[in-house]
Structure 1
Amino acid sequence: MKFATKAIHVGYDSSKHGHAVMPPIYQTSVFAHDTLDANQPFTYARTGTPTRAALEDNLAALENAAHGLAFGSGMAAIDAVMRAVLKPGDEVIAQQDVYGGAYRLLTKVMAPAGIKVHFVDLSDSRALAAHLNPAVKLLWLETPSNPLLNLVDIVALSAVARQNHTLVAVDNTFATPYLQNPLDQGADIVVHSATKYLAGHSDVLLGLVAVNDPELFQAIRFIQSASGGVPGPQDCFLCLRGIKTLALRMERHCDNAEKVAAWLSSQPGIERVFYPGLPEHPGHALAARQMKRFGGVVTVYLKEDSRAAAARVAERLQLFALAESLGGVESLVNHSASMSHGAMPAELKRQLGVREGQLRLSIGIEDIDDILADLAQALAE
């Protein structure tokens, strides 16, 4: 079954739900038992509902995984994975330019709990081996990364990690399962902030995890139920509805982003454009091999490297909303230094290249002529 068909059909059997074409929203906190000894799939909504199960099965199919799990947010999903895999005394290696929220979780929650965290430049997979030891239980990757769209080689890094019996987790939010399937490339765990492209309409807060190993699934599922960081049925329904058009939306996001990146490359007010689809991007060849297309996010350095310059452009945009998120049908602009990566120390942001005069553009599915016209008037002197 092809991707677009799976996105619409897999995970839901209408014959088990009164032949409703769309999955019903099971707005209940509890399910009645037929008998005291009944073995039934749903008992209490924290441990599962039919609406959530449909979403989890759908995500598993899209990531070519055996199991899916849904959480109340992308950060709840990341937290559950780390708690299921790591214990005090363990070590985790994370790609150095991880999302600011993941950095905060690792440094402010996991490290104080006795987890040793290493942030490593993994642009060359050979660098990983020098940092591995028996205590490293998890390798945390994000590709393309947020906000500078750096890529790492999932196949090569997974092969190195496997020699050390280290699990590999990939945040696949920017690529989505339509553009990239990390489990097929050697990873053990895939995580999504489904708030972004999967739900796709800026109206849901939700996280998803996909795995193949049954023991790993049960470990993460235990955290899911024990901590209770789960989504409600309405959010699961909305995410399922969004996923039905994921293939169509991603094609349009990519079409528009490719044109925006090319156009911005010739603008006098832009110092540099970050987009894997540009031949000059250092990860272009890897992206062409690892991904189906190049995604819907474009990041720029303005010629004037200052917050004032970034504010001037961002606040003049009319179609682009100035917002923290990405991946919605509407175009959004983010000032990474103060928004998505605001939790990072200033010196670390400087080292990673997260500048004050930088903007991350989430390119929506509006008409490309209108998007380019809005950018042109915002960048005009």
Structure 2
Amino acid sequence: MSDSSETVLFDHESTCLRDNPLGDPHTRRVEVHLPPGYDGVRPFPVIYWLPGFGAHPSLCGKALAFGTTVADRLRSAMTDGRVPPALIVVPDGTTAYGGSQYIDSAPCGRYAGYLAEIVAAVDRRFTTRPAPRWRAIGGKSSGGYGALIAGMTCDLFGSVIACSPDAGFEHSHLPLLPRTLDTVRAAGGMDALLARRATGPVDAPFMVAMSIIALGMCYAQDPRTSPSDALPCDPETGVFRDEVWQRWLTHDPVRMLDEHAGALTRLDHLHLGVGERDEYGMHWGARALHTALDAHGVPHHYTEHEGGHHGIEHVYTDALAGLRHVWSERTVGTCAV
């Protein structure tokens, strides 16, 4: 374990990820940011923050020379009271294809199970409030999707913070398929494209194509599925494969509400936010999800902010500020559960 006054790193050996189909590491480093006032005696709530596709599992780095890190921004917000003090835990859900969607997948591995392991490991290692009402899970993009799915399918978390999540797949994913096919063809085929993971160039078209490939692998049911077979379009002919697309749609949060709205209704807090000019159409997916949540009677806070999909780390503070109403200052840091 590596420890500083504010950040702790520990390695978790995952039972769920051992012998995963992709041969990805089953021992993962977990980043934990300690809140102001943490002394190892008083218990604190925990926020689990899930990075988006292809993102490094850390809140310590800066994408640009300007501004501060997300970790510093949130710690400052906790210090001045805008966000309630809590541990922030960043799990590592990356795969050989870039991301896991934080779900259990036959071709990729058991990442929902891994996430549950991390919750248990954090409760063992740190002085936490070990109950769902004192846990929040959030993230952006694929991380926001993972947070939504966790809120729908497990009972570990009492609050969900979904920033620009994958939803309404006809808006967020389907329009990216032609661009993906173009990138695969320009690379010289699927194998040549996948080889660029090691050799580069890792440019924007490559990342878009890899995100679609990763989604296909996450949503596939057969562990023998190849990246080419996981796509809703044949990468050589462009012929649409409706049976594959229908399988993708079973993982769309908008469509999952028919079965899982009850779980979201039981949450203490659900935040859904998106940029009004999202480059990947996430704003239309979020609007569809917002409408579906209303139709199912799921209480939630919905907001659209100026901006797109990238460079929006500043909105995390406002998104997490809603937890103040769930974790009051009167109870945070006391011994009551």
Same fold (TM over 0.5): no
Structure-1-length-normalised TM-score: 0.25
TM-score between the two structures when normalised by the length of structure 2: 0.28
Which protein is bigger by CA-based radius of gyration? 1
